[in-house]
């Protein structure tokens, strides 16, 4: 364990923590492979302190009317935009994604906070006059209280903003447990929230491992938990939270397919696939990792176009403008990706482009994996069944449309899928029938815009409500229904009959 690096602290009750940390974890620069900082790992007492702070702040924050909260959120957006370059550089240095990609990470998060600023409208209840004789009924949307988010390394700005933005707009206070691999940006976002006018304790950040996660879920004051990460952990957290009577939305892994029909613009499809498969080194839950060309002629042409484009890609340090994509997040991630590439070779897939063993001059210790392309992958292979979470694209050839439609529909995961075609009827049929939660038509990464909802099906998502959009407000609020009758001066005596609308 290194000791000569700065420690990235928690952010609790409006301030960075300053006490010495008995437990820390190294934070690497993936481009160089060197340790650049350490991050504090929270004890149960520190998690409790964060929840204490959020509980104290709840009364003040929830008492603000939604419009005043929205104004603070919009000021937060302004501050994030003012500091976007600073945040993106920090994100690139800790995650490994390129600077432009890091800017996109921040922007997609900001868009959800902008949507959340519509809370005055989105929190409106319903009203019915004369539901019975002289009786009115109305409903209220009220905040839950203290809520928590547990977010992954691959989007250290976007997903915390997705979760915190709507939760805060709805009047809740928030405890964020981000990934310890790239922890600096979440702390900076919390500082900017305080500067924007949020009361101390409204947004707290605690770093940690499983013990911190368990402490959050076990605290009876935490009313809801949102998680994004791998499927086994998503399912475990969902079950853990449910046993304690908490709301939970937990999103897991993916194996996103792109079906390419014979009539598709193959040049456009190849460009889209290269960006969607290898952008951010494939470390996106919506990355395309399986291409499904329909027919041998389509497959042969597509593979040739993909090989040509892949061989022209530049893998390099995250902050170099010439890099198409940077390193993966850790040495462990690189080892797992390279192991699965070998598994694909051993199982009989055709390795068209091998991305192993990449050496970047002056960055030989960085965590680099080059773009990798497999052809003639079959559904039984591990590289098709498992999420590789790296720059690896598998081509599974389908003999016809129905076989292509079945591949994503029958897969364990159901996060995202795309179809490339010029045929509107085929696209409509595909979007209607495919058993996947998010669909793109000639769009390779179909992440919905902020005012729609994001969420996968099957083993990609656990919980009844999805992230952002109207579902976000439903998740972070509880509905109260009020039935009102004012005395008319007429006494009717006691009634022992069940009230009915008629």
- Structure token pair of residue 310: 């892949």
Strands 256-260 and 288-293: parallel
- Structure token pair of residue 82: 């003012």
Distance (Å, whole) CA 327 – CA 317: 7
Return the bridge partners of 142, or none: 478
Closest by CA to 331, choosing from 272, 390, 383, is 390
Distance (Å, whole) CA 64 – CA 67: 8
What proportion of the chain, given as a percentage, has pLDDT over 70? 99
pLDDT band with cut points at 50, 70 and 90 for residue 3: low
Supply the pTM of this predicted model: 0.95
- For 69-91, the pLDDT digits (tens) are 999 999 999 999 999 999 999 99
In order of their start, the domains of the chain are 7-252+460-481 (3.40.605.10), 256-441 (3.40.309.10)
Does 285 participate in catalysis according to the annotation?
Answer: yes
Over 50: is that where the pLDDT of 2 sits? no
Rounded mean pLDDT of the chain? Answer: 96
Residue 19, pLDDT score: 80
Catalytic residue among 91, 122, 285, 290: 285
- For 383-419, the pLDDT digits (tens) are 999 999 999 999 999 999 999 999 999 999 999 999 9
DSSP letters spanning 218-270 = H-TTEEEEEEES-HHHHHHHHHHHHHTT-EEEEE----EEEEE-TTS-HHHHH
Residue 502, pLDDT score: 59
Q: How many CA atoms lie within 13 A of 128 on its CB side?
A: 11
Residue 58, pLDDT score: 98
Distance (Å, whole) CA 21 – CA 312: 46
pLDDT average, residue stretch 334-360: 97
């Amino acid at each position: 364990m290194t000791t000569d690096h700065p420690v990235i602290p928690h952010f609790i009750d409006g301030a960075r923590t300053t006490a010495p940390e008995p437990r820390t974890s190294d934070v690497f620069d993936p481009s160089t492979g060197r340790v650049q900082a350490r991050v504090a790992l929270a004890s149960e007492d520190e998690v409790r302190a964060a929840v204490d702070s959020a509980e104290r702040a709840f009364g003040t924050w929830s008492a603000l009317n939604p419009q005043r909260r929205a104004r603070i959120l919009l000021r937060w957006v302004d501050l994030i935009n003012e500091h976007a370059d600073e945040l993106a550089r920090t994100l690139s240095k800790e995650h490994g994604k390129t600077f432009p990609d890091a800017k996109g990470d921040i922007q997609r998060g900001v868009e959800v906070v902008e949507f959340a600023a519509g809370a005055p409208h989105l929190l409106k209840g319903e009203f019915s006059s004369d539901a019975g004789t002289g009786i009115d009924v109305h409903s209220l949307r009220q905040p839950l209280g203290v809520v928590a988010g547990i977010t992954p390394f691959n989007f250290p700005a976007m997903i915390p903003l997705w979760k915190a933005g709507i939760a805060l707009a709805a009047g809740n206070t928030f405890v964020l447990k981000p990934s310890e691999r790239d922890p600096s940006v979440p702390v900076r976002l919390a500082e900017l929230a305080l500067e924007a006018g949020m009361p101390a304790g409204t947004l707290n950040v605690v770093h940690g491992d499983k013990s911190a996660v368990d402490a959050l879920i076990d605290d009876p004051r935490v009313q809801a938990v949102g998680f994004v990460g791998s499927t086994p952990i998503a399912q475990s957290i969902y079950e853990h939270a449910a046993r304690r009577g908490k709301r939970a939305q937990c999103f897991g892994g993916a194996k996103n397919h792109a079906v390419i029909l014979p009539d598709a613009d193959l040049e456009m499809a190849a460009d889209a696939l290269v960006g969607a498969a290898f952008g951010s080194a494939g470390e996106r839950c919506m990355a395309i990792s399986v291409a499904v060309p329909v027919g041998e002629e389509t497959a042969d042409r597509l593979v040739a176009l993909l090989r040509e484009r892949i061989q022209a890609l530049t893998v390099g340090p995250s902050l170099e403008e010439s890099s198409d994509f940077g390193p993966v997040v850790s040495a462990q991630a690189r080892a797992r990706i390279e192991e699965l590439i070998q598994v694909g070779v051993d199982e009989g897939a055709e390795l068209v482009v091998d991305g192993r063993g990449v050496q970047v001059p002056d960055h030989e210790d960085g965590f680099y994996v080059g773009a990798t392309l497999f052809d003639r992958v079959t559904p039984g292979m591990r590289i098709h069944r498992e999420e590789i979470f790296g720059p690896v694209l598998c081509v599974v050839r389908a003999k016809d449309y129905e076989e292509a439609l079945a591949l994503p529909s029958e897969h364990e995961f159901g996060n995202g899928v795309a179809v490339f075609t010029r045929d509107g009827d085929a696209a409509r049929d595909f979007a209607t029938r495919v058993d996947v939660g998010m669909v793109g038509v000639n769009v390779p990464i179909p992440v919905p815009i902020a005012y729609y909802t994001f969420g996968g099906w099957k083993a990609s998502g656990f919980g009844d409500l999805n992230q952002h959009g109207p579902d976000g407000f439903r998740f972070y609020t509880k509905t109260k229904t009020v039935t009102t009758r004012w005395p008319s001066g007429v006494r009717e005596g006691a009634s022992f009959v069940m009230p009915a609308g008629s």
